[in-house]
Amino acid sequence: MLYFYLIMTDDQGYPDLACHGNPVIRTPHMDKLAASGIRFTDFHVSPTCSPTRAALMSGKAPFKVGVTHTVLGRERMALSATTVAEVLRDAGYTTGIVGKWHLGDADPYQPKNRGF
């Protein structure tokens, strides 16, 4: 069976990992993942988590899918936006999510309705 994992850490900068040259912080488990997987090394993020998550989930600029911040409904990814989970699910993969979603709390926006 083939597995595909997409891992996004929260509030971590590129230089925060030993495998990226940090001489102080030891990150052996993340280093092992980096050595055995595919890494996005030129992915541009937003200053808050929801816009970054929206870009990763949709493949589009966060403003294009309605996500501009993390509060007051501005974290809700447009229901018309297709997520990577929907694409994978429709291709026959089993999808799952663990951890923080932060792309809308109301029922239609929840991961269970977005391909997971």
Write out the catalytic residue numbers.
49, 102
How many CB atoms neighbour CB 70 within 10 A?
Answer: 15
Whether residue 66 contacts residue 77, with contact meaning beta carbons closer than 8 Å, is answered with yes
99: amino acid identity, one letter: G
Q: Under DSSP, is residue 109 helix (H, G, I), strand (E, B) or coil?
A: helix
Residue keyed to tokens 């980096």: 34
Contacts with 9 (C-beta within 8 Å, 6 or more apart), sequence order: 30
Whether residue 104 contacts residue 69, with contact meaning beta carbons closer than 8 Å, is answered with no
